[in-house]
Structure 1
């Protein structure tokens, strides 16, 4: 059996794929074991390097870093979604007066590296004597970059809906905003959800760039914890803990998105079952 794009392997091909899979697994396991060995060899697992994590003050540093990270990520996510929705609507407009500026803005901020946007958000106001909070400088950069990417995701998702859907809606007299709100968006949202969540995960991880402007997010807390000479400069233990926390937060966001997608695509069950008709009643009607 074969498909258009892929021929199913035969017995020799399956054996070859199995051997490649085993070798790849062994190579990855060997690499992980080597990294752990090097950590152990250089004393990264010494009790002294991990001792400070049992102190409440250090735990509160990590908690405060998590709160600062989630605060910046939450505000930037909401603003980026609004930015993306507005400029995606502009790019889909029939009027060139709206479509051209929206296209220019989206392409501009997609092309500028996020770090430069954060620098502009923080240092440019300072050049004119304006005081700006570090969190808002980070949020501005995250909003402009990720909002531009989300605008393209929204536009592509709406354009991916079959044209027959909108043509049928126009045929029954619906206006364009009704077609967009009632017909296209509900269908496109299900298709766009994985890409939207993926970009929000990127946004959450990009909050670590706030370290450059000394915003007290999670990575900044990890650098502070790892730079203490009394505990042997435990940078590796600190960054292992911080990395595990980032993985947990991104995993929780992905799990929520998976649950939401399953809920949105669930087919509703019929609440009232059809009652069986006795055979004698059918024969009477005939």
Structure 2
């Protein structure tokens, strides 16, 4: 119950992410700067309070796998803002839901884990749903293939980062997250002037960063107490709630194709995770 509550709260904190990008409606790189800096600072404070400063030394000992994990996490921050800025929120979150498919492929290629029949059927259904989403991007004024590509990049990159975490399972990788986020902000700050926008819209920037920082901490703690299938089911909530929230508050209609493609993707993953959870319960 503890893991369930913490993970659910983490998912609910990440739901407004796309909405904040829509409400800020500014330069994507400036939005990324404040999102990364504030959320990275929140996670950094949590790391310093609990594991402590020594936890950063363990990250340095991970070598190239730890380096690429940090780079991949850092790259998803600007990619997310670019995705939401260039296509519909529904398309973005439904494409994100394809992450387990990429994770299965990476696990087969780099960890030597077989892909189950259940996952092969899930992949086929997810790819059909993504095809419907891609087709719908040509018929919806809000949606665009450019944003869809960025969303697909995030899904593939984050899945790769999760695969690296499994490879480095003996080392807690949480301290790498503030390094990635704050590093992204510093790099963007070299080429942008983010302060004027913050003065104008500071409540939105602050709220955006705090929500992401809190979600990151909760989604790191919660999955320690529940199974991966249960985590995957809870994370699907974000794919359902985020488009509804943006539709209700901003009036962004996801369109029939996005809804149809999303139903296929979410439905396939939902069934797959329920089967996995039932199989786990039988073994127990």
Q: TM-score, normalised by structure 2?
A: 0.29
Larger Rg belongs to: 1
Q: TM-score, normalised by structure 1?
A: 0.29
Structure of higher RCO (CA pairs closer than 8 Å, 6+ residues apart): 2
